[in-house]
């Protein structure tokens, strides 16, 4: 497996596929370009176990997945029409869903991305501990979107807490747009893994500001990283690689199709050549 993994968030909407590629075939094509992907559909609904097993089987041995935790488990609320279930049941069902990927050795981490209103207080610290306790067999990454976790008062305590609980710190590159965003904190809290997510720096689009959900999603991650902005990350990534066995980079700046380009440019900057990718289809040429 590549010691530095680079990929994008989701595989359905990127400019990678020959015309006419069926949705069911896109993951296999994607795996010919990148060695890791973030599963976003697991946030919207707990995926069927057999589907997760199929995704694991359709990818090469060295391919890896970061699976987003289901939205009710991260405080984003129950989606319309979803069945009402207890927290205990949700954790159980989610763990059963992810298990095939873990058994195949292809699970980099389960990502708990907490919402902007999930601030630094004892109640939320206890809940993160519960998340770790409920799925003890999976690597767990935590992403904050509330600045209080990294305020001068709590920054060191937050990082120490993650380390003590054996939680993977998710380092974020995102707009500095008020309380619902976090600064770049390039620190490792787990010797096995660090996760870095690039959301772009679209400050004006980061917060909803009266937009509909659909319109907000379209603009929030619309951003093309400059060469200078990517260059800034090279020494950070190399330093973190000295402290963690694996560094995983995921680009989420795809509202206007920029994630793939950003990921490829970052790979070039780091001198990363991916090994063990799926064979590219001849139609790609």
* Cα 195 versus chain centre, distance: 7
Q: Which two tokens stand for residue 243?
A: 């402290």
Instruction: Judge whether 257 and 15 are in contact, CB under 8 Å.
Output: yes
- DSSP conformation class of 24: G
pLDDT, residue 226, reads 97
Q: Hunting for tokens 């939680």 — which residue is that?
A: 167
d(CA 246, CA 1) in angstroms, rounded, equals 9
Name which of 94, 47, 50, 98 is nearest 74 in CA terms. Answer: 94
* Cα 157 versus chain centre, distance: 23
pLDDT, residue 210, reads 52
d(CA 243, CA 280) in angstroms, rounded, equals 34
Residues of the chain with pLDDT under 70: 1, 208-217, 281-285
Q: Hunting for tokens 């199929």 — which residue is that?
A: 54
CATH number of 4-284: 3.20.20.410
Q: At 170, phi and psi to the nearest 5?
A: -95, 110
pLDDT, residue 215, reads 56
pLDDT in tens, 91-105: 999 999 999 999 999
pLDDT, residue 255, reads 82
pLDDT, residue 208, reads 63
Enumerate the domain spans of the chain.
4-284
pLDDT, residue 284, reads 41
pLDDT in tens, 65-88: 999 999 999 999 998 888 999 999
């Amino acid at each position: 497996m590549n010691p530095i993994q680079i990929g994008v968030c989701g595989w359905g909407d990127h400019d990678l596929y020959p015309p006419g590629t069926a949705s069911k075939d896109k993951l296999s094509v994607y795996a010919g370009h990148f060695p890791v992907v973030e599963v976003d559909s697991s946030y919207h609904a707990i995926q069927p176990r057999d589907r997760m097993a199929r995704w694991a089987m359709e990818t090469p041995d060295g391919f890896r997945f970061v699976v987003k935790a289901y939205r009710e488990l991260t405080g984003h609320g129950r989606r319309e029409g979803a069945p009402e279930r207890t927290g205990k049941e949700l954790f159980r069902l989610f763990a059963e869903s992810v298990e095939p990927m873990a058994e195949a050795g292809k699970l980099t981490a389960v990502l708990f991305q907490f919402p902007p209103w999930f601030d630094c207080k004892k109640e939320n610290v206890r809940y993160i501990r519960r998340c770790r306790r409920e799925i003890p067999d999976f690597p767990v990454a935590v992403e904050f979107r509330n600045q209080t976790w990294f305020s001068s008062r709590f920054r060191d305590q937050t990082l120490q807490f993650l380390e003590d609980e054996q939680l993977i710190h998710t380092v974020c590159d995102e707009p500095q747009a008020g309380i619902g965003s976090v600064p770049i904190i390039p620190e490792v809290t787990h010797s096995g893994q660090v996760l870095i997510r690039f959301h772009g720096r679209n400050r004006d689009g980061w917060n909803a500001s009266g937009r509909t959900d659909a319109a907000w999603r379209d603009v929030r991650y619309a951003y093309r990283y400059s060469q200078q902005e990517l260059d800034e990350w090279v020494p950070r990534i190399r330093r973190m690689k000295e402290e963690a066995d694996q560094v995983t980079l995921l680009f989420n700046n795809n509202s206007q199709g920029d994630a793939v380009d950003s990921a490829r440019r970052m790979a070039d900057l780091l001198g990363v050549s991916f090994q063990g990718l799926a064979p590219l289809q001849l139609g790609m040429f």
